[in-house]
Structure 1
Amino acid sequence: MPKMKTNRGAAKRFKVTARGKIKRHHSHYSHIRTKKDRDRKRNLRKPDLVSPAEKANIRRLMPYS
């Protein structure tokens, strides 16, 4: 049985924590920031966790993580 390939786009966007949760970055931070207030931009900088509904899809893209 050959090795499964990791989806490289997913590997660059997601990281797996030590407890098996998947971290992601927020969208909407890099474009047109002047109209977004300070609190919103600060919260967009922080990493977030992938929802449980999407976790199985991302695990399929990254089989060895």
Structure 2
Amino acid sequence: MPKVKTKKSAAKRFRITGSGKKIMRRKANKNHLLEHKSAEQKRRRLSNMTLVHESDEKEVRLMLPYGTK
């Protein structure tokens, strides 16, 4: 079997947890239009990483073929 290429854009956006069972992503809405958002929202709610939803996980794993399974 030939090697499978990793989607480099996905490799920059997602991290696989140490166990390899879950995929982490960054939360949206912290790039621009930040003036009207509260400091608490930016610091507490938008800064943290979160899990990719189960329904999207299969597609992300196809983009990252060499992530731990």
Global fold match (TM > 0.5)? yes
The aligned length equals 65
The Cα offsets for residues 10-56 of structure 1, whole Å up to 9 and x where unpaired, read as: 00000000122101001110101111112221210111110000000
For 1:41 and 1:26, the matched residues in 2 are separated by: 10
TM-score, L = length of structure 1: 0.93
Question: Aligned Cα RMSD in Å?
Answer: 0.8
Structure 1 position 53 matched with structure 2 position 55: yes
Partner of 2:64: 62
* Residue aligning to 1:17: 17
Structure 2 gaps, min length 5: none
Percent identity, please: 38
Partner of 1:39: 40
User: What letter corresponds to residue 46 of structure 1 in structure 2?
Assistant: N
With the length of structure 2 as denominator, give the TM-score of the two structures: 0.88
- Secondary structure of the corresponding residue to residue 45 of structure 1: coil
Where structure 1 has 5 or more consecutive residues not aligned to the other structure, the ranges are none
Which residue of structure 2 aligns with residue 26 of structure 1?
27
